[in-house]
Amino acid sequence: MLRRAGGPRLGGTRLGAVPWCVVTEPKEATDVLSKAQRQAVRQLLRIAPVADELGARFRAAGHELALVGGSVRDALLDRLGQDLDFTTSAHPEQTKRLLSGWADNIWDVGQKFGTIGAHKDGFQIEITTYRADSYDGTTRKPAVEYGTSITDDLVRRDFTVNAMAVLLPGREFVDPHGGLADLGRKVIRTPGTPQRSFSDDPLRMLRAARFASQLDFAVAPEVVAAMSDMAERIDIVSAERVRDELSKLVLSPRPRTGLTLLVDTGLAERVLPELPALRLEIDEHHRHKDVYEHSLTVLEQAIELEDRLPGGGPDLVTRLAALLHDIGKPRTRRFESGGGVSFHHHDVVGAKMARKRLTALRYPSAVVDSVALLTQLHLRFHGYGGGEWTDSAVRRYVRDAGDELARLHVLTRADCTTRNRRKAQALQRSYDSLEDRIARLAEEEELAAIRPDLDGNQIMSILGIPPGPVVGRAYRHLLEVRLDHGVLDEEAARAELLRWWSEQPESSA
């Protein structure tokens, strides 16, 4: 596909030194590739002080070094960050010696896999020895074998757009599998057959869906077919690895693309079965919205609202809650007389299901707790109506949401997918009203830190009792009073405590 101008066919060219020559590409693809090539030159010039100096050190020692994989892809897409991936003919101990005295610091936690890491001038660098791994088919963990050439290394990589390299310090581009052309066509393909690739490492099937969402690329038909045929292979992958890929997909700019691919190929049935289960059969007599499409739309709308969150987006908890908020509907669906459909308590059921699935995927307990809480609370607002809630009800809404209030605001707003413009505007106005009331009460009462008007020490002093369960009961009673009536001064709070105490059996003991 690519030639060095004026030289023999190499499967590459020299970046920034001689022109690119693209052979037999359509004009549209050629235009895209020309832009990518200019972007790559700009990015490589930016990292040149580090990359060229490192390449020169390895060459002087008789070794090859190349920028590789995602770093080359991202350079071509003009999105290269501070993380740089290299591959080399040097073995790990040789790499450590070459980095010693040059890098700001070095780490070798990945040495058994051939990888040495380093920091240099603000860049995080990983250098991995050429690999020619073998797999036994029962695990995705390979028997690590070092390769002898850059072509050995590139053929074992997951996708063609990640199987490109730039040899340093000469900046010669190496692309034996047509990754640059696939980048121009925005297509995900594998260097060899997808069957071989996914048999070696089934996690690559999830990575295909993730890259489709991250890069807005299409997945080649033969790759999709292999994902469908080999979906059960994902069962040998650890829950932690599945979780990491799923999180990256959900946090991508266009998660619908990858999630739809997982559902269509049957992979979701094995890693997140609650999602395809939302594709409820809709019969002509019992009409209800498509819960699966609704959930994906809520996810997209939540992404658009993430700028309302204190830290902005992308936010994993909000996105998972948006995706999973209705997963209780399949288990709670009931057909009513007269053609209606109900999903009573799907919020409670869904919260339990979300907790179980996210725990199985080894998500941190903080993420599990937050998603489960948001799922359980996502219907609460629908009792607000036209603003009929009392201040007490608003306080309880804030108290129950706790630290998740901002996310609950986003989820509740995103959950409106009606095409009825008048209804959508009415819901928007109602939630605006609720947020305004929360803000007013927060200003008046420090709503974010609702607690009783007397603390535990004051309760014990007033009642003359030692620490114990009675103090807790008194505290909870005063909290309910606080929620119902707002802030009390100390005298009123003391009177209410004594009134409550007079009704307790312990008071006469």
What CATH code is carried by the domain that includes residue 211? 1.10.110.30
Residue 57 lies in a domain: yes
How high is the pLDDT of residue 15?
44
Q: Among the three residues 426, 448, 470, which one is the final residue of a domain in this structure?
A: 448
CA angle 174, 175, 176 (to 5 degrees): 110
Contact partners, residue 482, CB within 8 Å, separation at least 6: 395, 450, 451, 452, 453, 488
* 354 and 314 belong to one structural domain: yes
Contact partners, residue 106, CB within 8 Å, separation at least 6: 96, 99, 100, 116, 117, 118
Residue 360 lies in a domain: yes
- For tokens 């119902």, the residue is 484
How high is the pLDDT of residue 439?
87
* 324 and 397 belong to one structural domain: yes
* 201 and 337 belong to one structural domain: no
Domain of residue 170, CATH code: 3.30.460.10
- What tokens were used for 84? 């740089």
Strand partners, 22: 2
Dihedral of CA 359/364/365/366: which sign?
Answer: negative
* 61 and 181 belong to one structural domain: yes
How high is the pLDDT of residue 82?
94
pLDDT tens for the 509 residues of the chain, in order = 333 322 222 344 444 432 222 223 445 555 656 777 777 777 887 898 999 999 999 999 999 999 999 999 999 988 899 999 999 999 999 999 999 999 999 999 989 889 999 999 999 999 999 987 655 556 656 667 888 899 989 999 999 999 999 999 988 899 999 999 999 899 999 999 999 999 999 999 999 999 999 999 999 999 999 999 999 999 999 999 999 999 999 999 999 999 999 999 999 999 999 999 998 755 443 444 689 999 999 999 999 999 999 988 899 999 999 999 999 998 888 877 766 777 888 999 999 999 999 999 999 999 999 999 999 999 988 877 777 788 888 888 888 898 999 999 999 999 988 888 888 888 888 899 999 988 888 776 555 556 777 888 888 888 888 888 888 888 888 888 877 777 778 888 888 888 888 888 887 76
Mark out the alpha helices in 446-489 (DSSP H runs): 456-463, 469-485
* 443 and 474 belong to one structural domain: no
Q: Among the three residues 154, 185, 216, which one is the final residue of a domain in this structure?
A: 185
> What domain count does the chain have?
4
- For residue 361, the enclosing domain spans 301-448
Residue 120 lies in a domain: yes
How high is the pLDDT of residue 1?
31
* 165 and 37 belong to one structural domain: yes
How high is the pLDDT of residue 18?
26
Residue 317 lies in a domain: yes
Residue 483 lies in a domain: yes
* 37 and 107 belong to one structural domain: yes
* 360 and 221 belong to one structural domain: no
Residue 285 lies in a domain: no
Residue 288 lies in a domain: no
* 305 and 255 belong to one structural domain: no
* 242 and 360 belong to one structural domain: no
Please state, in angstroms and rounded to a whole number, the distance separating the CA atoms of residues 189 and 207: 12
Residue 291 lies in a domain: no
* 210 and 169 belong to one structural domain: no
Q: Among the three residues 397, 425, 448, which one is the final residue of a domain in this structure?
A: 448
- What tokens were used for 416? 């409106």
* 129 and 25 belong to one structural domain: yes
CA 479 to mean position of chain CA atoms: 37
The edge-to-edge listing of strands for the beta sheet with 172-174 is 105-107, 115-120, 123-129, 83-88, 65-68, 165-168, 172-174
**pTM (predicted TM-score):** 0.79
